[in-house]
Structure 1
Amino acid sequence: MSALFQNYARRPISIVEGKGTLVYDSEGKRYIDFTSGIAVCALGHAHPAIVKAIQAQSEKLWHISNLFESPGQEKLAATLVKDLPLSYAFFCNSGAEANEAAIKLARKHTGKHHIIVFEQSFHGRTFGAMSATGQDKVRKGFGPLVEHFTTLPFNDVAALEATIDDSVAAIMLEVVQGEGGVNAVTPEFAEAIQAICDQHGILLIVDEVQTGIGRTGTRFAFEQTALKPNIVSMAKGLGGGFPIGGILGTAELFETFNAGTHGTTFGGNPLAVSVAQTVIEHIFNEEFLANVQAKSVYLKQKLAEALPGNKYTVQGMGLMLGVSCGGDDVAPLVTKLEQAGLLVVQAGTKVIRLLPPLTVSEEEIDEAVKILKSVLIG
């Protein structure tokens, strides 16, 4: 009998080894991993550069506390904000922590409490992040949530305009809703959000926990939209599999997050920032990002060729794609795909989410699409 709380609906396989896009279970079965740890293993499993970074840093220093200066954090922050309209970074351990920090920073800076969020969003499972999440299934059973979050329909300009008043501190959204169905912000909605923020002095928080660090073919997904965030949250791909999260903020916010306002014991520890530095030096590279975009085009093309468009539609950006299955419940399909050797995850109940490592090859894409076709079409 397990001594673990059963809060995960675990699949009945145990993954014990991985290399690149391929993983193997305890029985030796091979799988193509189109989950990458839910958009975490951006450079694939056991990437040699990450292994080397962990080994080298582990022989020097693991943890020292944020009471002391951190050259590694300084270097990582400078690399992340270079050539972006963002100036400062704060590092923590996860996406939920990053979103908590973003919410705290927005409230403290503006002196207001009201934050607008959107249906089908997902921002984490801590109380603040859960309160910002527009999915009842995430919030159910936990009693009173953090107040002053208003949840609106996604991509609905009229609903947003009707809700704006002087009480609003921030608007918070994902450029592509990962857990909520791989729903991308429309150009019209992004333009409306930015115009509202500019006109009313409202802060814009963009949750890039899943979309950031090259996942959509640019450093951050907001770079492909009209959005100009004041705060960006990040995690998942930032550490390539090692836990690290953080926020980036504009220069105007610097004085708000002063000494004692927010902190973390383990956030930005030397091991984490060493790994993250390695990851972004690989990904924040024009050639690498161009390859992600090219693989996205290739994957979409192969899916279009394999799946009939009258039932299956492909949505999303970069290598964060969803296959909408015409209203069918995809849970049984996910199980069948796993049995056939392809690991995927759901996005809601009707969409299969594809999140391969950014290093996936065309040959691996071909094999994955072949498995998808055999399971979905026969």
Structure 2
Amino acid sequence: MSEIFELEKELLIPFFKRQRVVFVKGEGCWLYDERGKKYLDLVAGIACVSIGHSNKYFIERVKEQLEKLVHVSNLYYTLPQIELAKKLREVSGMDKFFFCNSGTEAVEAAIKLARKATGRKRLVSFTGNFHGRTMGALSLTWKEKFRKPFEPLIGEVVFAEFNNVEDLKKKLSEEVAAVFVEAIQGEAGVYPAKEEFIQEIFELKEKYGFLVVFDEVQTGFGRTGEWFAKDIYNVEPDIIAMAKGIANGFPMGAVGVKDYVAEKVEAGDHGSTFGGNPLACTAALATIEYIEKNKLVENSRRMGEFFKEKLSELGFEADGFGLMIGFDKEKAFDFVSSMLEKGVLVNATSENRIRIVPPLIISREEVEFAVERMRLSR
């Protein structure tokens, strides 16, 4: 398949550094390359493929909608959009929703909503946070290598140290519109916030009047062993950004807000041509329904604990909740390559950090298979 590698260089803008493998099929937690070799997928399209590759229930639901209606724009009403909003209200506890096509779009919408609802401009993010690569979301993203080449970004963004309440207090004032929180930092390598840190944010909210925005793009829809990471910390944000696992890999994003945020919005403040189209909404509904019917939130919790136990036996001290797991590994990129050769896909977020985010359907046997391959790759 060297021809494909050469064609990629010729035809595609080189934004991505890819592993040298060409996948042609998927089934459950497994992917198959063009030679028929199978790989256990512990990446899941970066935490997107919640209910597994080629899920029959998902395919039938999407196929049925595909044969009815794909897109009419938000100039008109469609049933799947309303049905999805009702289901999201049920599982998220938020009141009203806006639909888009990705996580970074959800964050962009959250920025505008926070500024409109409060009348303030300043935003606070944290060291280690990753919120996306479009200009607003990028402004909230910590790593300089992502931000520096594209400055000037949007103004009035300040960073506080993650898990450091005292530093956060120094950055707060009555000019702050919102504090953006990744309760479990994903792109950084799976680092959870301390419970007392999250509680302090909500106490400070009462003092300063800012909104709390939870970026649940990676943590939502059962990934952490709860429907959302907010449920781990027993808090209710004002705004939640969602995407990734919402539609099993279909491009879909959403923002959920409390009523008092939505009340400040006027028609025309924001929009999306493709966001919330009938096909995307049906894909999301099918995914959420399958998670519910098959108790995958619970499976995420159980298999996550089991995975961490097995990693501990190998000497890895794993962080995270549910099936969102990170651990330190020297020469992490070499480890990724070694695991690829042994038929397991893992992701390195840095030179010394591995992230594991498999489909929520993963079994004990598949976890044991992965850990045994890791033992051979140490």
Pairing 1:127–2:129 present: no
CA RMSD for the aligned pairs? 1.3
CA distance in 2, matches of 1:79, 1:172: 25
Give the letter aligned to residue 188 of structure 1: E
Pairing 1:89–2:89 present: no
Contact 1:187 1:226 (8 Å CA) reproduced: no
CA distance in 2, matches of 1:189, 1:97: 27
- Which residue in the other structure is 2:165 paired with? 157
Pairing 1:44–2:52 present: yes
Alignment of 1:5-84 (within 5 A): 5-82=13-90, 84=92
Q: Secondary structure at the match of 2:354?
A: strand
Q: C-alpha displacement at 1:83, in angstroms?
A: 6.1
- Which residue in the other structure is 2:3 paired with? none
Contact 2:118 2:177 (8 Å CA) reproduced: yes
Q: C-alpha displacement at 1:358, in angstroms?
A: 0.1
Pairing 1:241–2:245 present: no
Q: C-alpha displacement at 1:279, in angstroms?
A: 0.7
Pairing 1:212–2:220 present: yes
Q: C-alpha displacement at 1:202, in angstroms?
A: 1.1
Q: Which of 356, 359, 365 does residue 358 from structure 2 map onto?
A: 356
Give the letter aligned to residue 313 of structure 1: E
Q: Normalising by the residue count of structure 2, what TM-score does the alignment of the two structures yield?
A: 0.95
Q: C-alpha displacement at 1:81, in angstroms?
A: 1.1
- Which residue in the other structure is 2:189 paired with? 181
Q: C-alpha displacement at 1:79, in angstroms?
A: 0.7
Q: Secondary structure at the match of 2:11?
A: coil
Contact 1:182 1:347 (8 Å CA) reproduced: no
Contact 2:92 2:227 (8 Å CA) reproduced: no
- Which residue in the other structure is 1:277 paired with? 285
CA distance in 2, matches of 1:188, 1:209: 22
Q: Secondary structure at the match of 1:337?
A: helix
Q: Which of 314, 326, 342 does residue 318 from structure 2 map onto?
A: 314
Contact 1:219 1:284 (8 Å CA) reproduced: no
CA distance in 2, matches of 1:299, 1:97: 32
Q: C-alpha displacement at 1:29, in angstroms?
A: 1.2
Q: C-alpha displacement at 1:286, in angstroms?
A: 8.6
Contact 1:190 1:226 (8 Å CA) reproduced: no
- Which residue in the other structure is 2:308 paired with? 300
Q: C-alpha displacement at 1:231, in angstroms?
A: 0.3
Q: Secondary structure at the match of 1:17?
A: strand
- Which residue in the other structure is 1:365 paired with? 367
339-348 or 34-43, which deviates more: 339-348
Q: Secondary structure at the match of 2:214?
A: strand
Alignment of 1:330-341 (within 5 A): 330-341=332-343
Q: Secondary structure at the match of 1:90?
A: strand
- Which residue in the other structure is 1:111 paired with? 119
- Which residue in the other structure is 2:4 paired with? none
CA distance in 2, matches of 1:227, 1:373: 38
Alignment of 1:261-276 (within 5 A): 261-276=269-284
Give the letter aligned to residue 317 of structure 1: F
Q: Normalising by the residue count of structure 1, what TM-score does the alignment of the two structures yield?
A: 0.95
CA distance in 2, matches of 1:264, 1:76: 17
Q: Which of 214, 230, 235 does residue 222 from structure 1 map onto?
A: 230
Percent sequence identity is 39
Give the letter aligned to residue 326 of structure 2: G
How many residue pairs get matched? 370
Q: Secondary structure at the match of 2:295?
A: helix
